[in-house]
A and B are shown apart, each in its own frame.
Chain A
């Protein structure tokens, strides 16, 4: 004994690794992905050159790998463990694109659509990613899906808003086509004006995926007079996407600091805007746009001016002449809340020919009548069960931006999967609140004494940059894609940066002889053998401090000496050296594969 013993009943109970959420959380990227895409699984397939398989792993989870591989908001990347081990996370998103770029024809891998339908008809309103996901999940089950959209082509904002230089049309056609090609009945080019009418058509369920289609106004003096040259950002972008607008003035001001503003300014730059500026009320740091979108805009010579609050549109003879701004500064009160206070400096007038207003989006449901029983809250959002997406009329389900306000594609997909489960259960007369558990398995990766079926050698490469097309080319034509994607060699090297966080360190207390070999070899000091204690106490006295409370401590049962094994999951490299050094096999590296349950027979509870 080393003098320390168990502290009675005090301390953390042994970790329950049979609970799938324990190891799921260790796979930071998958946990952070709203659709819980098995990221390391597809990254390994890319490294193995199995692009089609990598694509299908994605397609199952997130439905639009080629689209998302270019446009995803990538919540997985800030969560990625690699970013805590060195400077930057794995380029997860751009690897997804690699799978899409280099795959073979995958049509034969798509699910079969039964010829005999199940007799249930589902209306999908809005042909955005949420509704398309519902169709994707329900069509293979034999549902008859009818897709409505006022636009003449399916895709929602993926098609109408995201500019072509970020997302080529062929990619949209291909991935939307996989779903519409399942035999979805399309009723495009016409608004749905009445939910009551739709319900009267006898649909068994209605899914509302109409997004947040209304751009916010900026009601300032001069707005009406200069209206011809003041455009609502998302309306203008969709006019550009559909080819109704192909020109803008030389001097353009974009008002707003979100991703829509970034798409507006970069589009304007390609349609004749020579002097394009983004002007925001807040500070540069607080802008809503993703850091990479801001970088991309600035890279194209678009300055971002901050702390300027628009006061007035100036005009002359019915023509816009510019915008006047009040200069402000950020002040923080004791509670850390920020307010913008005028600096007292003279107002600044910025001359321009056109203004693009990109200050936010709103939901609008003028077509949903009160008589349908669908209720809304005081922010105008539908009252929904947050887990099932069912509205106050049990036949009606929501998802995507229409459910909880504007988010992004991957959230729309995640909602779509959940709504499809609900619709399927509802149509079968099952309890909608009963959710099917995810499917998961753990399998040892051991092949020999020092051989694993994954590559456990840790690459020390820094994140690779995606090459860009020359800006002389891309700025001249809005349809030329800026990013070129990784070539296969770079893709392999980037894939090797992934730490395989799904290959879990699994500990068997009974086998451990407390030889310390694992604690000695661990390159990042994850493992400690010590007396048990409370979590706060343990976090302070492990071999390396464990100050990240979002990352679990893996605690064993009591060992022979009365101590416990405590592993801080935070910066584990999943290198497997602990398991290689363990003389008794108390550590094993086991692949944890979790797949979300989607609508369908396999996951039904009976």
Chain B
């Protein structure tokens, strides 16, 4: 960490977005994480994505659980709403907030311990309910905050900093998310912003449960030769299936692609996801093929990254429940407290 606040001065040519903000306006307090932590790079990527999407900071809610990863919302989007819940309980708080006010952009920020250990049930249910959110797990394979115990995503056979091997089967959150019905699933790496930023942008624009598993080396406890979540290991085994460009309506489409097949996926809100295929066999809209591919490459020891699955026809919890479109805080008393007659009517319908 640093004790100094980041100086206010910025580059004189720093661009502004449609709202007149610079990227610096999307920053938060200075990070207290260990120097070099992958989580800080993810924060920087979130800042960049929100800036590029011209999101008004006060229309974003960031929610988290407990862990170094869950601390990061303090370090970005300082002007947004925030909720730091208890360990593993971010998904239910986020679900509640989303039900009450569907007009905010929801960022669920979690760790592999927070989501794959104590919060596994919460993770599963928020995904299968299709809560409209970006759920991002900053996956370092350890409980960073409590000094580096293996988490449930640590690979079997990988070792701790002290050389002790992990014997348990890892949980693959990506495969789980696809199986549980997430309509946008990606994996990325904190050390590759060129890949991560467009994925975050696309996931934010996605109207449904979007999940990103972002491998994020823990420099203090899990960046050693026996780790499979280290900078070196991930760089050596990273197999990106595609490269993504996100085109929001107003942006002109500038095509400067290296040769290779290009697929456009139009999302519900009109965003175009332009995918340059790096692996010709990979079809991110085919769920079964995606899962099969992931398992095959996983067996080969590769870390598959990129946009792994997207359902362009996704729906969300509100659509499923047919809830009122207006946020609860904007409904008047009459609508919120319809009175005895309305209650009698509901009761009667249930008799």
Contacts and interface: CB of A to CB of B under 8 A. Distances in A.
Interface in B5-21: 6-14
Overall SS of chain A's interface: loop
Contact of B12 (A457, A571, A575): A571
Given A525-B14, A571-B11, A577-B6, A560 B235 contact: yes
Chain B: interface size category = 35 or more
Contacts of B13: 544-545, 547
Interface stretch (B94-102, B121-129, B186-194, B204-212): B186-194
Interface string A452-463: 000011101000
Overall SS of chain B's interface: loop
Interface string A511-540: 001111100110111000000000000000
A517 B2 contact: no
B129 to A, nearest CB: 34
Given A516-B193, A523-B6, A523-B10, A3 B240 contact: yes
A2 B36 contact: no
B181 interface: no
Contacts of A525: 10-11, 14
B219 interface: yes
B44 A2 contact: no
A511 to B, nearest CB: 11
A515 B11 contact: no
A331 interface: no
Interface stretch (A183-191, A199-207, A284-292, A581-589): A581-589
Interface in A87-104: none
Interface string A1-25: 1110000000000000000000000
Contacts of B14: 525, 544
A513 B36 contact: yes
B144 interface: no
Contact of A2 (B3, B9, B192, B232): B192
A517 B37 contact: yes
B34 A583 contact: yes
A561 interface: yes
A515 B38 contact: yes
A573 interface: yes
B343 to A, nearest CB: 54
Nearest to B14: A544
A500 to B, nearest CB: 13
Interface in A560-582: 560-561, 571, 573, 575, 577, 580-582
B14 to A, nearest CB: 7
Contact of A516 (B1, B2, B10, B190): B190
A457 B4 contact: yes
B12 A85 contact: yes
21 contacts: A1-B238, A2-B192, A3-B194, A86-B9, A450-B2, A456-B4, A513-B231, A514-B231, A515-B36, A515-B190, A515-B191, A517-B41, A520-B44, A523-B6, A525-B11, A525-B14, A544-B13, A561-B235, A571-B11, A583-B36, A583-B37
Interface of A: 1-3, 84-86, 450, 456-458, 460, 513-517, 520-521, 523-525, 544-545, 547, 560-561, 571, 573, 575, 577, 580-584
7 cross-chain pairs, A with B, having the tightest CB-CB distances, nearest first? A583-B36, A458-B7, A520-B44, A544-B11, A515-B36, A583-B219, A580-B2
